[in-house]
Structure 1
Amino acid sequence: MPLSFRAVRTEDIPLICTFPQSEDELYYMYPKASFPLSHSQLQEAIEQRADSTVIELDGQVVGFANFYHCEDGGRCSLGNVIVSPAARGKGVARYLVERMIEIALDKHQASEVTLSCFNQNVPGLLLYPQLGFVPFAIEERRNKQGERVALIHMRLQR
């Protein structure tokens, strides 16, 4: 399975907007956005964030992520992580997060990479510790239905 990565392009936006399949999936990816994810919402996120990156499988975009906070020599915080429904369970998320860690460490000389994962996002909660992320805080949030959820903050130190 030949996976590759590159910077996001404007023409990728319509496809990436189809990746979140439900309000919950969009909430895990981008809590501030409203479902369905619009081109303008995603474009705004890309403009406000750093290193927006896509993963390609056989030339087709199947994953997306970026940093919502990134300071050279300091912390890079991974966000907007999403994988195409057709590519889930095929190692794309692992490859995506590994590439983003490399960008943080190599390009930004980050001392740590952080991310946050909602308690209902079981695939994320199972993946991130396999990649070395360790929980360090839990924050109470309210989802779009007003229900209590836990946002688990994790870090990977250099």
Structure 2
Amino acid sequence: MHLTHRPVQPDDVATLCSFPQSPDELFYMFPKASYPLTPTQLSDAIAQRSGSTVVESNGTVLAFANFYKAEYGGVCALGNVVVAPAARGHGVAHHLVTAMIDLARQQYAAREVWVSCFNHNTAGLLLYPQLGFVPFGIEERQAWDGTRVALVQMKQVFS
């Protein structure tokens, strides 16, 4: 599978809204959104964030992420990370997060990239350390269904 990435386009939004397959998956991607994800919810998030990027293969959009914080010369915080169900387990998230790290370094001269991952998101918890992220904090949060969850905060620091 040949993967490329590019800035998100308005035509991508409806496709991206189909990626979270359950309230849990949407919570991992976008904790403030309500399931099912709507184009309005996602478009509003894109408008308030920076660096919104999609990964595609042969013209098919497979993944999405952005920065909810993007400080020039400081911290870029990765958010809204999601991969199409059929593309999971094929290196798409690895490509996406690597592209976002490169964007943080090149466009924002970032010193650090942060990512937060909920404790039930096993795929994310296994992926981020492989890409050089190290845990630095855990916060208690409330999931969409009211249960207690742990938000694991990780960062990658550039020398």
TM-score w.r.t. length of structure 2: 0.99
Q: How big is the shift at 1:57?
A: 1.2
Q: Which amino acid aligns with 2:106?
A: D
1:10 Cα deviation after fit:
0.3
| Corresponding residue of 1:122 | 122
Structure 2 residue 89 is matched with structure 1 residue 94? no
Q: Distance in 2 between matches of 1:81 and 1:28?
A: 8
User: What is the deviation of 1:53?
Assistant: 0.2
In the TM superposition, residue 117 of structure 1 has moved relative to its aligned partner by 0.1
Matches of 1:145 and 1:36, distance apart in 2? 14
Structure 2 portions without partners, runs of 5+:
none
- The alpha-carbon deviation at position 107 of structure 1 amounts to 1.0
Deviation at 1:30, TM superposition (A): 0.2
Consecutive unaligned residues of structure 1, counting only runs of 5 or more, are none
How many angstroms apart in 2 are the aligned matches of 1:57 and 1:86?
12
By how many angstroms is 1:80 displaced? 0.1
Kindly provide the CA deviation profile for residues 120-140 of structure 1, in whole angstroms up to 9, marking residues without a partner as x. 000000000000000000000
Q: Report deviation, 1:12.
A: 0.3
Instruction: Report the AA paired with residue 118 of structure 2.
Output: F
Please give the secondary structure, in 2, of the residue aligned with 1:78. Answer: strand
State yes or no: 1:23 paired with 2:23: yes
Task: State the AA in 2 paired with 1:33.
Answer: A
Using the size of structure 1 for normalisation, the TM-score is 0.99
Which portions of structure 1, spanning 4 or more consecutive aligned residues, are displaced by more than 3 angstroms? Answer: none
TM-superposed CA distance for 1:4, in Å, is 0.3
Measured on the aligned residues, the alpha-carbon RMSD in Å equals 0.4
Corresponding residue pairs, total: 158
Give percent identity, aligned residues only. 58
- Name the CA distance, whole Å, in 2 between partners of 1:30 and 1:16: 12
- Which whole-Å CA distance do the structure 2 matches of 1:11 and 1:107 have between them? 24
- Partners of 2:59 and 2:144 lie apart in 1 by 35
CA distance in 1, matches of 2:119, 2:57: 28
